[in-house]
Amino acid sequence: MRGGLDHIKSKLRFYFYLRLKDSFKILIYFVAVVILGALLAPPLFWAGNAVGRALDWEILKALRESDFQRYFHRAILVAAVVLLIPLARWLHLPSWRILFAQNDPRPIPHLLMGFFIALAVLTALGFGLVHFDYWNWKDPLPWERVQKVVVTAVVVSIIEEFFFRGALTKVVTRSAGPWWALLFVSALYSVVHFLKPRETVIPANAVNWLSGFDLIPASFERFSEPEMVLAGFGTLFILGCTLGYAAWKTNGLWYSMGLHAGAILGKFGFNKLAKIDRKHDAMPWFHSDITIGYGAIGVMLLLFFLVWWSLRKAR
């Protein structure tokens, strides 16, 4: 009996040692991502601006008009993807290819279902804000600006879903299990999108090789506003959980990619077609970003319910 208990204790100690060891490696990975992202941001900013000016194409307009803060945000995602394969090898995964393996039996229906559910919810939110005079339609409606949002929705949803709900979720699941992976990745997803420095932190003409490191402390400024943390971080966390649940329930990324693309198109498409009415303050229910606020939390909970209902019979 004594030997059996000692054996169980030994197994438990080894189990938690592996969990702690893998968690420590993941923590080092995130630190490395921030450092590499800070190093990559300046050359990406200079290269993007040079290409945007050299090729005066409308599709490349965003390259020359985006500020350094946006390049910093994208550099972090690039660094996260680049360092995934070394992380997979460090965690002794059988093959880094399993990070991107998909087995959704209904890819196209799930893609379209997710897209139209998210687009419908965000569009309904936009029309509601206009109806109650919190926002006003622009005159004339700049439909041509929505075309750029479509491209952004497709590209961003593919990249971020393969990273967050695909590779990173599988890495964390191996270390902590599926439910902890869902919560952890959703929290990380909300942190990455919530950590945005103020737009005027570093002017374009002042960018140097170390400017990325200057943005790191500035990125945490929004955490000094408790109301913004609850209303902004909470909304993103619920959205991350919704995307993660859809990917887990369908055993693939098609549904979550559709949801992500529909949410981006609904949110930014509305921002291109409407403007906030400064005479009617909707805070704390809705911010100038329609996905921030206590009301936006309710909208995200509704989106989660619709996704859950649509997948209630999925295995």
Q: What is the pLDDT of residues 168-212, one digit of tens each?
A: 888 788 777 788 889 888 988 887 777 666 565 677 788 888 888
Q: What is the pTM of this model?
A: 0.78
Bigger pLDDT: 236 vs 277? 236
Query: Per-residue pLDDT for 69 more than 50?
Result: yes
Look at residue 176 in the predicted model and tell me its pLDDT.
Answer: 73
| Domain map (residue ranges) of the chain | 2-95+108-310
135: phi then psi, degrees, rounded to nearest 5: -130, 160
Query: Per-residue pLDDT for 28 more than 90?
Result: no
C-alpha count within 13 angstroms, C-beta hemisphere, residue 69: 15
Look at residue 110 in the predicted model and tell me its pLDDT.
Answer: 93
Look at residue 197 in the predicted model and tell me its pLDDT.
Answer: 65
First to last CA, the chain: 41
In this structure, what token pair is assigned to residue 299? Answer: 């909208």
267: phi then psi, degrees, rounded to nearest 5: -70, -60
E strand segments, 134-188: 135-137
- Write the CB contacts of 252 (distance below 8 Å, at least 6 apart in sequence): 102, 103, 104, 107, 110
Look at residue 307 in the predicted model and tell me its pLDDT.
Answer: 95
Look at residue 98 in the predicted model and tell me its pLDDT.
Answer: 58
The DSSP output letter for 135 is: E
Q: What is the CA radius of gyration of the chain?
A: 21
Among residues 42, 45, 73, 36, the alpha carbon closest in space to that of 191 is found at 73
Q: How far apart are CA 103 and CA 57, in angstroms?
A: 39
Q: How far apart are CA 190 and CA 180, in angstroms?
A: 15
Look at residue 61 in the predicted model and tell me its pLDDT.
Answer: 64
